[in-house]
């Protein structure tokens, strides 16, 4: 029996997983052979080896959905739509820069979009300039949530929603940088919640 090249096995498994993730169906033997650049007969032998190792499912000459790929195909495409100012309200245009695939296993299910943070008013909440914020839209905001707030002047900002002040009859949005903005808040008679921040993506 010929010894199987581990590099070729890895390439085939990677191709099958990627193909399944992108197309939601498994590739044929011919598609794998063309994608990896090896002979169809060789591809067949290697796929059978991967199947024997329980790394993918293979039967009757047709690939079924590989278990390894099934575990990785639950993704949500979230648009990266620009920046949100972490400071005083600032008008921003929503322009889709790209779409980012978010694994459901990490981010959960929801109607998400992504914003890039600007400014330093939310650093105590772990949000620094340049961080990517995963925002869930079409959901109610609870006290304590970090929200994308659109004010009466159609300007938006990212702040902690503190709640409604019954004495002053206004909503309170708080800064999260005690060293630079001690006790500073924004008071609004009304505002629109454009989304609630659920996750922060950043480089270490």
Task: Tell me the per-residue pLDDT of 86-108, one tens digit each, with 9 for 90 and over.
Answer: 765 554 445 678 778 787 778 88
What pLDDT does 59 receive? Answer: 64
What pLDDT does 66 receive? Answer: 64
- Residue 157 near residue 186, CB atoms below 8 Å: yes
Indicate if 58 and 98 belong to the same structural domain. Answer: no
Q: Using 70 as the pLDDT threshold, list the residues of the chain that sit under it.
A: 1-3, 59-75, 87-95
Nearest-angstrom CA–CA distance, 186 and 89: 9
Which pTM does this prediction carry? 0.61
What pLDDT does 203 receive? Answer: 81
| Residue 169 annotated as catalytic | no
What pLDDT does 1 receive? Answer: 47
CA 30 to chain CA mean position, Å: 33
| Residue 83 annotated as catalytic | no
What pLDDT does 181 receive? Answer: 93
DSSP secondary-structure letter at 90? B
- The answer to whether position 1 is within a domain reads no
Domain total of the chain? 2
Indicate if 129 and 181 belong to the same structural domain. Answer: yes
Question: In terms of residue numbers, what domain contains 17?
Answer: 6-70
What pLDDT does 61 receive? Answer: 58
Point out which residues pair with 58 in neighbouring strands. Answer: 63
Instruction: Please identify which of the residues 14, 159, 169, 187 carries the catalytic annotation.
Output: 159
Nearest-angstrom CA–CA distance, 56 and 19: 13
Instruction: Please identify which of the residues 41, 72, 121, 190 carries the catalytic annotation.
Output: 121
- Residue 49 near residue 38, CB atoms below 8 Å: no
CATH number of the domain where residue 146 is located: 2.10.109.10
């Amino acid at each position: 029996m010929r010894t199987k090249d581990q590099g070729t096995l890895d390439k085939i498994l990677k191709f099958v997983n990627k193909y399944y993730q992108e197309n939601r169906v498994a590739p044929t033997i011919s598609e794998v052979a063309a994608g990896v650049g090896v002979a169809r007969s060789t591809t067949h032998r290697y796929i059978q080896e991967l199947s024997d190792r329980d790394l993918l499912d293979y039967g009757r000459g047709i690939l079924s959905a590989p278990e390894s790929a099934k575990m990785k195909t639950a993704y949500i495409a979230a648009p990266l739509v620009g920046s949100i100012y972490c400071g005083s309200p600032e008008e921003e245009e929503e322009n889709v820069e790209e779409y980012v695939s978010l694994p459901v296993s990490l981010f959960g299910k929801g109607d998400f979009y992504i914003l890039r943070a600007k400014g330093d008013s939310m650093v105590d909440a772990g949000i620094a300039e340049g961080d990517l914020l995963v925002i869930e839209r079409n959901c109610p905001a609870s006290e304590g949530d970090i929200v994308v707030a659109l004010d009466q002047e159609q300007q938006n900002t990212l702040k902690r929603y503190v709640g409604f002040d019954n004495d002053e009859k206004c909503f309170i949005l708080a800064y999260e940088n005690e060293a630079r903005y001690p006790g500073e808040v924004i008071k609004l008679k009304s505002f629109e919640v454009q989304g609630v921040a659920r996750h922060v993506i950043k480089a270490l």
